[in-house]
Amino acid sequence: MSEIQPLIIKPQDLSLKVSDVSEKVVLNLMQLEEFDVIGLSDAIFLSCSAVNIATEIANAHINEFYADTLEIPILGKLEAVFIRVGREPKRNIAKQIEEEEKGMILTTERDGQLIAVRRGTRMETLVTICLIKLSKVEKLKIVAAASAINDAVRLALEITKGPVAREPIGISSMNLYSIQSREDPQKKMTAISIYLRKGHETQYSRSHQELIKKLKTGFRIP
């Protein structure tokens, strides 16, 4: 039996439409009960959008969702998202979100715990804001939509895996969903929520750790 290869979405794929990538997700779903979708670097938002659409139109469920870095020969270390898609749901997302947001002040005001990432905002500014807030509270929620998803994931990884945080900070949960576009209320776009928790280390499943090991030592990025 051949090994299941992940569906890898690369920066070179940015010329594709989201619907083209969603079609690839649906094709995999027709053939496999469960598989991994990996979005690399600037293609993070494309992979997230494609999977989100697939969950809305097909019997597709996000069973694992991680942000991590991936070391690739020549290219070096890249930010990435790892999404395990399956026909059967294996997590209660609504309950997970309810637990994450319990007691949080979900506003972008001074005392709020919500960080809204927009395109063009300098990364050092976002990192500084997050660190200031995390010096006062235990949890933050990062949100972004469309191509700003790339920056939201980079921000989360900079905080949790970068050298600037004084104490452990981890990603406790991630979620994809659709929101209405401000420019065109008839149009939907994909959004992401990333929950950060102070004093917490990001917990990766064994299957994710094995996938990372295989990508480092065995798989070649096509």
CB-based contacts of 79, cutoff 8 Å, min separation 6: 40, 41, 44, 67, 69, 150, 153, 154, 157
DSSP state of 42: G
- Domain boundaries of the chain, sorted by first residue: 7-217
Q: Is residue 88 within 8 Å of residue 61, measured between CB atoms?
A: yes
**Model-level pTM?**
0.94
Tens of pLDDT, residue by residue over 7-36, are 999 999 999 999 999 999 999 999 999 999
> How do residues 110-169 score in pLDDT, each as one tens digit?
999 999 999 989 999 999 999 999 999 999 999 999 999 999 999 999 999 999 999 999
CATH 3.30.110.20 assigned to domain 7-217? The reply is yes
Tally the residues of the chain.
222
